[in-house]
């Protein structure tokens, strides 16, 4: 009989919640009408889609009309960046930070050659004043993250939004890592654009959204149809977006965040138990723990943990898709080659973390011994 595995990579993607699966099933099995059509089948899916829009809007502190559904957080980010740059005209200056997700970095790099990248401290935190000070008369876009995806540091985004509220550049907030783990209130935040995704807190893959401030119009990334009130072309992915709404409707943010913090604190006990292990980030995002392990590359630790039934992630060169050191950790000035990220979520249990804590010290010890042979 197979032993249950300990899945501790929720920050990459989280298992689908039962409520989301149940909500999606009718639109995978029988209710398949195009929501843009006037027949009964189309009207039924339109109602389901708009209900999901209301659920997502409520969860993220937005108005339903401010929600533009997308296929992912990555698409939402690309829509925000390309739309802001197109709206501002070619050659616009962009301000961003050194710890943004690759989709932000790549979208900005492709869209403009005028970029100011603001650095961070050893915790991966940027200074809000430094971001604001980097804004110029020709700045079109400021793009900052709400929480870091690798080390879990929550950023002073509200200060940036407040300082730039009366100024020209649009402010985009990447809240994909934060969504479902800390409160994301689009209205209170004061951003112009905000990207969120479903799959990191128990919603389905293939579902994201760009929140667009009321009254703001940015050119769509995908053209060729009038869907999403002409803000995104292409037939709507009703099952995924219904699942997104259902996941938002069942999240108990306070309870789940408290449970996640307890589990992360339990996992962090290895810092005191194993010499040469340190924690990166400030621990403000409740579900993420990033560890630096001195003297051993991340890949053999990750593979050994996997053999013991524990799934974690590393941003290091040896195990990432890009085969490069983590830009986030490099920007922080720490060892970018030897990091492990442990992340919990709605389905995580104490047993999962205890298995990690139980096997991690021995794995590190054995690997260090092999290096000295």
pLDDT of 114 strictly over 80: yes
What pLDDT does residue 319 have? 43
| Residue extents of the structural domains in the chain | 6-15+253-372, 18-250
pLDDT of 317 strictly over 70: no
* Distances in whole angstroms, Cα of residue 193 to Cα of each of 167, 173, 289: 15, 6, 28
pTM metric for this prediction:
0.95
What pLDDT does residue 101 have? 96
Tell me the mean pLDDT in the region 229-239. 95
What pLDDT does residue 318 have? 42
**Which pLDDT band, with edges at 50, 70 and 90, does 112 fall under?**
confident
**Which pLDDT band, with edges at 50, 70 and 90, does 111 fall under?**
confident
At residue 326, the 3 state secondary structure works out as: coil
Q: Which residues have C-beta within 8 Å of that of residue 343, sequence separation ≥ 6?
A: 8, 9, 10, 11, 12, 287, 288, 289, 312, 313
Q: Which fold has domain 18-250?
A: 3.40.640
**CATH placement of domain 6-15+253-372:** 3.90.1150.10
Active site residue 290: no
State the greatest distance between any 2 C-alpha atoms of the chain, in Å, as a whole number. 73
How confident is the model over 207-225, as pLDDT tens digits? Answer: 999 999 999 999 999 999 9
Average pLDDT score over the chain: 94
pLDDT of 336 strictly over 90: no
What pLDDT does residue 322 have? 54
Which tokens is 84 given? Answer: 């802001």
Of 103, 194, 290, 318, which one is the catalytic site residue? 318
């Amino acid at each position: 009989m197979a032993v249950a595995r300990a899945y501790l990579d929720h920050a990459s993607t989280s298992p689908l919640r039962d409520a989301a699966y149940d909500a999606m099933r009718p639109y995978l099995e029988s209710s398949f009408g195009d929501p843009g059509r006037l027949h009964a089948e189309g009207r039924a899916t339109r109602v389901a889609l708009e209900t999901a829009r209301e659920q997502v809007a409520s969860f993220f502190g937005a108005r339903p009309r401010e929600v533009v559904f997308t296929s992912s957080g990555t698409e939402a980010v690309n829509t925000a960046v390309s739309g802001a740059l197109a709206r501002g005209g070619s050659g616009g200056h962009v301000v961003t930070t050194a710890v943004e997700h690759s989709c932000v970095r790549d979208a900005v790099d492709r869209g403009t050659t005028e970029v100011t990248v603001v650095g961070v401290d050893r915790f991966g935190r940027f200074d809000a004043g430094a971001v604001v000070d980097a804004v110029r008369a020709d700045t079109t876009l400021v793009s900052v993250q709400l929480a870091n995806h690798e080390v879990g540091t929550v950023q002073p985004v509200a200060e940036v939004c407040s300082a730039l509220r009366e100024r020209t550049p649009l402010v985009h907030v990447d809240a994909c890592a934060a969504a479902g783990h800390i409160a994301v209130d689009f209205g209170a935040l004061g951003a112009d654009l905000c990207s969120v995704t479903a799959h990191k807190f128990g919603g389905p893959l293939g579902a994201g959204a760009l929140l667009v401030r009321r009254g703001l119009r940015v050119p769509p990334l995908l053209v060729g149809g009038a869907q999403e009130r002409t803000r995104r072309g292409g037939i709507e992915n009703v099952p995924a977006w219904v699942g997104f709404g259902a996941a938002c409707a069942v999240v108990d943010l306070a309870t789940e965040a408290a449970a996640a913090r307890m589990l992360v604190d339990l996992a962090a006990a290895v810092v005191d138990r194993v010499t040469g292990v340190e924690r990166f980030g400030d621990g403000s995002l409740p579900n993420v723990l990033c560890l630096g392990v001195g003297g051993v590359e991340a890949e053999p630790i990750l593979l050994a943990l996997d053999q013991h039934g524990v799934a974690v992630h590393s941003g290091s060169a040896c195990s990432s898709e890009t085969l490069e050191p983590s830009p986030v950790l490099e920007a922080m000035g720490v060892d970018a080659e030897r990091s492990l990220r442990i992340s919990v979520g709605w389905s995580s249990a104490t047993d999962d973390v205890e298995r990690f804590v139980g096997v991690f010290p021995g794995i590190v010890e054995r690997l260090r011994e092999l290096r000295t042979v």
